[in-house]
Amino acid sequence: MTAAGTALVRRPGPRLSDGIVTHLERRPIDAGLAARQHEAYVAALRSAGWRIRAVAPADACPDAVFVEDMAVVSGGIAVMGRSGAPERRDEADGAEKAVRDLGLRVEWITEPGTLDGGDVLQAGDTVYVGRSGRTNEEGICQLAHLLGGRRVVPVDVEGCLHLKSAMTALPDGTLIGVPEWIDTTALPGLRVAPEPAGAHVVVLGEDHVLLSTSAPRTADLLAADGLRVTTVDIGEFEALEGCVTCLSVLVP
């Protein structure tokens, strides 16, 4: 199988249960189950042809498994985020080394800008960026400058953690999501996901997507559209407001 690219992942650490919860009621996390779910997630990426590269552990950081928030990759550049949650900023060091090892040029979001990778959705030539509790206007402006000529569209986010908690893109560029959580003014043609977890789609290939098992109606809908659908159980991470996009950085 020809590799689709490289997937950066970071295993869950021993403090996972202390992860930040903003919009959900906290419940206990089963660390052993979380580890098995993460292994199954990584196996799904590998089976789809992605090379797996482990980012160095950051065991002092409970949310470090959500590695997507640390870096935005576009072409030959990796923009390192500066989380609006200060306690997450130490997670960036290992992610920076990982993207440098791939030969990417590294740039940084700097103070007073804040930006989490989970707020950045790339769909074709357009980059949608969530204006959220983790990403501010200055961070969006810095990202737009660093990405050069790409079209950057800010999107207000309410009721969820990140833009990609509310919407993602299908292989053909169609947006799918939960309109109640975002300002849809700049999002013509947003397809409504049958359930909230259906807003979280990872594109594994030109006709292949990854979803959580908590979105069975969305999985059936996309399969009926002719897409190949792989599902994984990530319930322990969803309890911490994570989703399938959060657990990797895909570098084509």
Q: Does the annotation count 162 as an active-site position?
A: yes
Say which amino acid occupies 146: L
71 φ/ψ angles, rounded to the nearest 5 degrees: -150, 140
Instruction: Give the full edge-to-edge strand order of the sheet including 208-212.
Output: 202-205, 208-212, 228-232
Q: What is the C-alpha to C-alpha distance for residues 241 and 247, in angstroms, rounded to an integer?
A: 11
Selecting among 38, 160, 162, 243, the annotated active-site residue is: 162
DSSP string of 157-204? B-SSSSHHHHEEE-TTS-EEE-GGGB-GGG-TTPEEPSSGGGG--EEE
10, 38 Cβ separation under 8 angstroms: no
Selecting among 61, 160, 243, 246, the annotated active-site residue is: 246
Q: Does the annotation count 38 as an active-site position?
A: no
Please provide the distance, in angstroms rounded to a whole number, between the alpha carbons at the two ends of the chain: 15
Q: What is the C-alpha to C-alpha distance for residues 150 and 108, in angstroms, rounded to an integer?
A: 17
Q: What is the C-alpha to C-alpha distance for residues 34 and 189, in angstroms, rounded to an integer?
A: 35
Joined together, the tokens standing for residue 139 give 């961070």
Alpha-helix runs per DSSP H in the chain:
31-47, 92-101, 137-146, 163-166, 216-224, 235-238
Catalytic (active-site) positions: 162, 246
